[in-house]
Structure 1
């Protein structure tokens, strides 16, 4: 047990004939493991990182396309006003369809026994899955928010909405994906594709994400609710649900 703990928390590197030990906390070690595993699996990246990639591509394109040219190409008369309302939901939608957490637990597969043999708490294990999704989201979020704020003229409320709403969606996506995967894990797989694209947890998590994106639009179109108010209301609900699901997921026994 001591040996397992030592291996989990320390990283040995040899340089010039000398060996140095770099210590990490248990969470940091698990988090780095998740990051390394994610980027080493092209299937996982391809199927769960598409939204973030699209967000980055669009953001970079907006760096070279002027608002006037964008309005001309899209047929939108007032681009600043349009994006002031819909940019937060656009970013949130791209983050919602990128959910590595919905398949992260299942991908442990037959190697789960290794984690069960080390002094690793269930809570730390699950927090590393949530942290993975939040890290991937942060790449697209920071780039897109910076570009939108620099390239377009938003008022204070619109800018604040752009900063806050996607974060709420990101947190909810990470937590609900982990929770659903805890409820419907699939460890008996032979091909990663089955887990990251066809498992019930991935399908269910994606459906929930789309519903959360659609609700503010439906409230705005059919009930004539202010779109900004609908976004803030949905964001508040998602944060409350995230807290509830977080405590529920931490109570689940996986390892």
Structure 2
């Protein structure tokens, strides 16, 4: 039974690779292999290659001064950070918020079996993200430094220990969120706020990491001695990768004990949290007048309520709004410095000013991070019949779903546009600035309609965990990476060839292209898209 539930968890996580929800049938073997190859290329080829290149740059210097333990320590910290970051938002929903909780608990299945299966899903996700860092680091060490029997055993054990540390950290955070959320009325916003603080801390560490690593490499011996003298357990952790027997034994025992304690705590609170109705303090009834709404306003209110009710939905599909505001502030504070720096790089290629276009493209690429509309149809799930049974036109349903992303993306895009105008107001002709101002808006509208097309074309209404349509669906992948590709292509075409016609003419052409594509998508939505939705 345990293996069956673990297999079920894995099928849920990678469901889109095996099942075509549009055709309501299993994908062909060729299609499944193709999807998995694309994912493998992204994870192993791109991310793994990036960390392999990084490892190659620092492994040699540390090995040369007999401080390979410090190399393993640095790469382990990066692996733990990425692994925790990659699985942290899935832990709470994956452990406690699955839609099939009531069904499983009503069956003659031991609670420990359900918990082990859920933990296996969390563990495998954390392993996948942490292995992208630590496995290339281990292979690079074997090639660059040395490869002995103890090195191999220690390195493999280090990979396992790191994955278990990621599991422990993810479970602790998920358990804390679950316990706190039971006591909070507005738990969605609290979860989002805590996650944003985590984001801020993570990116602060990320941008400071290179500077810190450079300092460590220059003064490796000094820092190494300080770690040995003041933080000996940390030093011993790095020794695991070198094959130190005592370090391997000590940390193996410690991690096993910690895993047992975590399992004990989770097993004791799992039923209580899963079956909790999240009651809060009683609220006294107060009679209020309810205003009548038209069909569109009623459905729009429902879409906003759905968005604000899910921290996972807000964080994964609406975080671009926050980044857009940050980008606008960066334009104001550092805009002129960025302009001077970029101008020195591109040297006004054939007297054409390129930097303003890059600012507009940056706005477009950031706006592409918002894909609220993409999973909106799939999130209706098995309750789609409720929406379909209402006396509401299908086009009003579409408009409401589109309006949520339009509002949450449009306001920050306008803010960034205004900040861009302030930066270039004295350097560029007003007519060119107007065209640049319009470009991100048209791009946003295009991505909005393109996201709706993806949402209708790749529908998943049979999910048991909302992370499936929000994070693990093919349409989300295409929407985000496709949006970045479209934005980057606008800049690359201008740099390579189109600079000859000048910035003004090029921006007009790009605006017309996005406007034409938006009109075509709008027509498709009105005719084919509405019909597809009505046939779901």
Scaled by the length of structure 1, the TM-score of the pair is 0.82
Shift of 1:59: 1.7
Shift of 1:112: 0.7
Q: CA separation of 1:118/1:227 partners in 2, compared to 1, >3 Å: closer, same or farther?
A: same
In structure 1, the residue matched to 2:521 is 245
Gaps of 5+ in 1: 1-14
Matched, 1:110 2:388: no
Q: CA separation of 1:232/1:42 partners in 2, compared to 1, >3 Å: closer, same or farther?
A: farther
* In 2: Cα distance, 1:183 partner to 1:197 partner: 17
Listed one character per residue, the Cα deviations across residues 220-252 of structure 1 (whole Å, up to 9, x for unaligned) are 233244344333322212222212222222233
Matched, 1:142 2:417: no
Q: CA separation of 1:94/1:115 partners in 2, compared to 1, >3 Å: closer, same or farther?
A: same
Shift of 1:196: 1.4
Shift of 1:164: 0.6
1:203 pairs with 474, 477, 496, which one? 477
Shift of 1:46: 1.4
Q: CA separation of 1:212/1:96 partners in 2, compared to 1, >3 Å: closer, same or farther?
A: same
* In 2: Cα distance, 1:75 partner to 1:245 partner: 35
In structure 2, the residue matched to 1:11 is none
In structure 2, the residue matched to 1:181 is 455
**Contact (CA 8 Å) 1:85, 1:158: kept in 2 or not?**
no
Q: CA separation of 1:179/1:66 partners in 2, compared to 1, >3 Å: closer, same or farther?
A: closer
- Greater CA drift, 169-178 or 88-97: 88-97
1:168 pairs with 442, 445, 454, which one? 442
Within 5 A, what are the aligned runs for 1:60-99?
Answer: 60-65=329-334, 67=336, 69-70=337-338, 74=341, 76-77=343-344, 83-99=355-371
Shift of 1:51: 2.5
Matched, 1:57 2:333: no
**Contact (CA 8 Å) 1:182, 1:249: kept in 2 or not?**
no
* In 1: Cα distance, 2:338 partner to 2:488 partner: 25
In structure 2, the residue matched to 1:123 is 395
Gaps of 5+ in 2: 1-283, 348-352
**Contact (CA 8 Å) 1:216, 1:227: kept in 2 or not?**
no
* Structure exhibiting the larger radius of gyration computed from Cα positions: 2
Q: How many residue pairs are counted as aligned between the two chains?
A: 238
Q: CA separation of 1:17/1:35 partners in 2, compared to 1, >3 Å: closer, same or farther?
A: closer
In structure 1, the residue matched to 2:291 is 22
Listed one character per residue, the Cα deviations across residues 17-65 of structure 1 (whole Å, up to 9, x for unaligned) are 6441212111111112212221222211211223322121122244444
* In 1: Cα distance, 2:386 partner to 2:438 partner: 39
SS in 2 for 1:101: coil
Q: CA separation of 1:20/1:209 partners in 2, compared to 1, >3 Å: closer, same or farther?
A: same
* In 2: Cα distance, 1:106 partner to 1:197 partner: 12
SS in 2 for 1:21: coil
Query: Which is bigger in relative contact order (C-alpha 8 A, separation at least 6)?
Result: 1
* In 1: Cα distance, 2:374 partner to 2:409 partner: 14
SS in 2 for 1:188: coil
SS in 2 for 1:164: helix
* In 1: Cα distance, 2:286 partner to 2:477 partner: 50
Scaled by the length of structure 2, the TM-score of the pair is 0.41
Shift of 1:76: 4.8
Matched, 1:232 2:508: yes
**Contact (CA 8 Å) 2:361, 2:491: kept in 1 or not?**
no
Q: CA separation of 1:127/1:230 partners in 2, compared to 1, >3 Å: closer, same or farther?
A: same
Q: CA separation of 1:115/1:133 partners in 2, compared to 1, >3 Å: closer, same or farther?
A: same
